[in-house]
């Protein structure tokens, strides 16, 4: 019997592209929630800021 080669899923360009797009989306969402937290703190609306911080920690 011949040797069976295992293919790594990350060797396929499609999956690498999907992972790259996913990481960019997560980074953009983290940046968005960080900006919203800063805006809420500057508006002295402290009741909404922790909600955005929780989303940041969930995405990270």
pTM for the whole thing?
Answer: 0.59
> Does residue 60 have a pLDDT over 70?
no
pLDDT tens-digit series, residues 15-59? 889 999 999 998 888 888 788 777 777 776 566 667 767 777 777
Output the pLDDT for position 46: 63
> Does residue 9 have a pLDDT over 70?
yes
> Does residue 4 have a pLDDT over 90?
no
Q: Are 59 and 33 in contact (CB under 8 A)?
A: yes
């Amino acid at each position: 019997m011949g040797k069976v080669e295992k293919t790594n899923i990350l060797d396929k360009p499609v999956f690498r592209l999907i992972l790259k797009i996913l990481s960019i989306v997560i980074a953009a969402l983290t940046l968005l929630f960080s900006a919203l937290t800063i805006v809420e703190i500057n508006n002295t609306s402290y009741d909404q800021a922790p909600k955005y911080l929780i989303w940041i920690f969930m995405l990270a």
